[in-house]
Structure 1
């Protein structure tokens, strides 16, 4: 159990409540500051400031510590929002306040789970929320595109059926209904052309190593993930470039096997493990 220093007397009670909860989670995990930094991607100095009440921890750091300590991230993030409100109103700012250190440099391979990209300071939290909103919007748009393609395909098939049976027979010359002209809906075709260049695996669909790829997305980045998963012995289903349930399940299994957080989202750390 860590011996914590007393929190600053001028600290707002709402911020104090958040820091006390984070200290308990850190003690419960049994990790040192260095091990906590390796598991979350934030430097030991940053965690000393967060747990000392001298700097407000970013939402991603709070969520990462909650998962490590086995607590509910939603409840902790709610406490963090309340504390942020007090912090921004200047009720708990003092001479001890200091901006958070940047995330620690790349941790040792196989030691850490893949963290969500940390914010460099409390003031960057709105930017992080915007990034999350943009990613969610992309997922929704991709899902909407799939639904639209299916709807158009159904409409074309219905038109062909109705047109094929609408010709009336007046007893004279049989009339043949013309086929409705339509543009076929094509699905991109992907294949796995695996090759190793300078110790890095590529499958011929995408060369990205840091793009965020998640459920509902589609395209060459997804096909690249599927090929690399298959190379690693984890079947994602077909190589269709669609990030569906089978691909997400394969990503989770691979992440757990590689010692990463099994969140089903392919980020820089998961790309590194897939291409290594």
Structure 2
């Protein structure tokens, strides 16, 4: 009986933390966007444990200050195809890019500051390839080089999104005069079902507008191409951008 009491004393506070954390996540999302928050959290859902990870084509834009060793050390980033441009190659800082192979070299001067144009050029390039650059992968993800992603995100994507036409991201973007009425996800980590590529390549993709982010451009692209989709926000704790903080450990990425 004493052992049972101890288990209950431990289990009840943990359950309360899960319930309160879930409530705080939903409460922190504007009411008109709460439908994007997944009802099921895979971290507390044993049904995802044996799910085969999703096959994902990752793409990461690199700059002159991108560190090649960091890309190799990061479990998810080291799977990504890197893409850079001619201006990036001219901005090498301390030769960090010298050891970094550009899997996709875009002959342009878009530079890091105009990531929207750089991302559009990436899609233009992928659309010239027979397999649209995704091969037999199920999903396509754009990820920043200062982002940490939990490898289990691939199991979550597989369990929650496999078989669906989805547009997903790590945090929600908000409509502006530039993006309305299209939905979009913040830039560090967003993606969609790889089957979209055939449809995207068949439609007229939008041009970048002044002050338009590349993540905004991606949302507008999906909207203007009239692809039927389900929007889905990743649960908290799978993707960290520029900062990772847990008890006893805090990491800041001071890049600029």
TM score, norm. by length of structure 1: 0.22
By percentage of residues, which structure has more helix?
1
Larger radius of gyration: 1
By percentage of residues, which structure has more strand?
2
